Amino acid sequence: MSDPISAFVDEREQRVQSNASNAALVAAAQNFNTESNKAQYSYNFSWMGRPIIQYPQDMIAMQEIIWNIKPDLIIETGIAHGGSLIYYASILELIGNGEVLGIDIDIRTHNREQIEKHPMFKRITMLEGSSLSSEIVQQVADIAKDKKTILVSLDSNHTHEHVLKELELYAPFVTKESYIVVFDTIVEDLPEGYLPGRPWGKGNNPKSAVYAFLSDRTDFVIDHQIDNKLLISVAPEGYLKRVK
């Protein structure tokens, strides 16, 4: 007699895999991605009272990763309102272990105050400064020291140059079977100028940085199964798994 739990998991994996060849579904998702980004859809959500500025689909994917690998440390560049920090800390709170390290070049006073008085702040440390500075990277190294499992999320400046440098600096912290997740790779797939005034666009964005980063290394791979599962995401081809 077959195990119904295993059968369900197998069916789900096959269904997710088939999404890539479902032209109508892929087209519908691409249309939603384009129009929803134009409408700033990601700004509509919060987690435990803090604006999260993420797509729910990506947050579910992050929850699955966090629950599966149970990281001792999650490093995130880009804090904004702190919703992602609170979200990651809350998952770690359910697990009963782990801490979150947030880095931002400018942690605004009103956001810092709200984050610091949140009940999940007990699992959060924040560093103010450029994620590319040697001083910040050294502080991260000190905090990451002796941590068994580390997950990294990049969501700060979205130019090619900045993200590529972040990938080079923070990939070494990622442990095998964990991930470095690069947000806003969707910029490459959106119409040029969809958000006027931003210094990034087609050919100069997180996805172009991912491609450059992966071009000469084999220790990280794009987890296309996550892409096939989500379809609607701001991080297509941005879920990079460390395989060796």
Q: Return the pLDDT at 191.
A: 87
Supply the mean pLDDT for the chain: 96
For 144-193, the pLDDT digits (tens) are 999 999 999 999 999 999 999 999 999 999 999 999 999 999 999 998 87
Q: What is the DSSP string of the chain?
A: ---HHHHHHHHHHHHHHHHTT-HHHHHHHHHHHHHHHHTTGGGG-EETTEE--S-HHHHHHHHHHHHHH--SEEEEE--TTSHHHHHHHHHHHHHT--EEEEEES---HHHHHHHHTSGGGGGEEEEES-TTSHHHHHHHHHHHTT-S-EEEEE-S--SHHHHHHHHHHHGGGPPTT-EEEETTGGGGGSPTTSSTT-S-BTTBSHHHHHHHHHTT-SSEEE-HHHHHHHSS-S-TT-EEEE--
For 74-102, the pLDDT digits (tens) are 999 999 999 999 999 999 999 999 999 99
For 30-41, the pLDDT digits (tens) are 999 999 999 999
pTM of this structure: 0.96
Q: What are phi and psi of 221, to 5 degrees?
A: -135, 155
Q: What are phi and psi of 240, to 5 degrees?
A: -105, 120
Contacts of 60 (CB under 8 A, 6+ apart): none
| Alpha carbons 185 and 142: distance in angstroms, whole number | 29
| Alpha carbons 35 and 55: distance in angstroms, whole number | 13
Look up residue 110 and give its two tokens.
């009103």
Q: Return the pLDDT at 117.
A: 98
Q: Return the pLDDT at 1.
A: 55
* Structural domains present in the chain: 4-242 (3.40.50.150)
* CA distance to 70, 111, 117, 182, per residue, from 49 (Å): 24, 12, 12, 24
Q: With pLDDT > 70 as the criterion, what percentage of the chain qualifies?
A: 100
